[in-house]
Amino acid sequence: MPSDPSDTQARAAQRCKQRRAIPVRRPDNHLIAAIAVPSNFTRPEAEVPHARDSAPRPAVVYVHGASAFRADHWEATRPLRDAGFIVMTPILRGENGSPGAYSLFYDEVDDVVAAGEALAKLPGVDPTRIYLAGHSNGGTLVMLAAMTSTRFRAAAAFSGLVDASGLRGDPTDVPFDQTNAEEFRMRSAIEFPGSFKCPVRIYHGADEAYTEGLVELARRARALGRDVEAVRVPGDHDTMKAAALPLAIELFRHHPADPSR
C-alpha cells in the first residue's frame, strides 16, 4: 500500500473516472425509475410516474451488486416491481460518474440509508412501508444499513459478505488502511449481531461456498433477541436470486406498515 495518502486518492479518482464510461439508462417501468446520488453531495433524484389518485404503495431500496450500476441490475428487480412494489436502485458514491470517493462498505452505508429516506418522501410511496434488499456487494450493504437505520420495515440480503477480515488488494479496490484491524471490523456485520433494527433474512445459495459466516451471524443475532434468519435457497451466487426474491416479497408482505411512523 502506498505511504502517501494522496497517491491512494489519485487511484480512487482514476477508478471513478473509469466507472464514468459505464452508461446509466433510466428504466421506463410504469411504477418507478429512480437514481440516487451520494447523501453528502446532493438530493437523490427520482422519477415516479404514479397515479395521484391511487393508494400509496410499499417501496423497496434495492442495492445492486458489483461496483457500478448496470442494466441487468434493474432487470433483477422485476419480481419486486411486478409484485406491486415501487423500487429505487441507488447509485452510490463514485459509481457511474456519481461524485464522491469509494470506501468499500463504509460511507456507502450512508448512501443506502439516504436513499431510503428520500424514497419515503416521494409521492405515491407509503413511508411506513419502506423495505431493503440487495445482492452480493449490495447484500453486504443491506446488512450494514439494517444495523444503522430504523427506516426499513424489513430487509433481505442476498449472498452478502459478513466478515471483511479477508479483504485485501490494491488501494483502488480496498481503499483503506489494510494494516488497521479496526477498518476491517467496522465493515463486518458479524461483529455487530445485536445491532439489527428490523427483521432480516440472509439468503444464500446451496451451491455457494463460504456461507458459514452468514449462518453464524443469524445465530448470534437470534441469541441476542433479533429477528434474523439465514435461509438456504437453490442456486449459486448469481442464480440464487430467482429463488430468494419471491421469499423476500413474502417477508415484506408479512411486515406491513410500521404504526410508529
Entry field: residues in the chain: 261
Region at 81 (left for phi over 0; alpha for psi -120 to 50; beta for the rest): alpha
Q: What DSSP character marks residue 226?
A: -
In a domain, 234, yes or no: yes
pLDDT recorded at residue 172: 85
Q: What DSSP character marks residue 191?
A: G
Cβ-proximal residues to 209 (8 Å cutoff; 6+ apart), any chain = none
- Nearest alpha-carbon partner for 140 in 74, 174, 75, 190: 190
In a domain, 259, yes or no: no
Which grid cell sits at 8? 491512494
pLDDT recorded at residue 136: 96
Question: What's the CA gap between 230 and 175, in Å, rounded?
Answer: 29
Collapsing DSSP states into helix, strand and coil, what is residue 35? strand
Q: Which residues pair with 220 in a beta bridge?
A: none
In a domain, 257, yes or no: no
Structural domain of 214: 5-251
pLDDT recorded at residue 93: 86
The domain that holds 74 is classified in CATH as 3.40.50.1820
Q: Could you report how far apart the first and last alpha carbons of the chain are, in Å?
A: 46
Q: Mean pLDDT per 10-residue run, the chain (261 residues)?
A: 36 36 34 39 41 78 89 90 90 82 91 91 92 97 97 98 93 90 95 97 96 97 98 97 98 88 73
pLDDT recorded at residue 122: 87
Cβ-proximal residues to 115 (8 Å cutoff; 6+ apart), any chain = 36, 39, 44, 61, 88, 90
In a domain, 113, yes or no: yes
pLDDT recorded at residue 154: 98
- pLDDT tens, position by position, 172-228: 889 899 999 999 999 999 999 999 999 999 999 999 999 999 999 999 999 999 999
pLDDT recorded at residue 246: 98
pLDDT recorded at residue 52: 54
In a domain, 256, yes or no: no
In a domain, 95, yes or no: yes
Question: What's the CA gap between 258 and 261, in Å, rounded?
Answer: 6
Total number of domains in the chain: 1
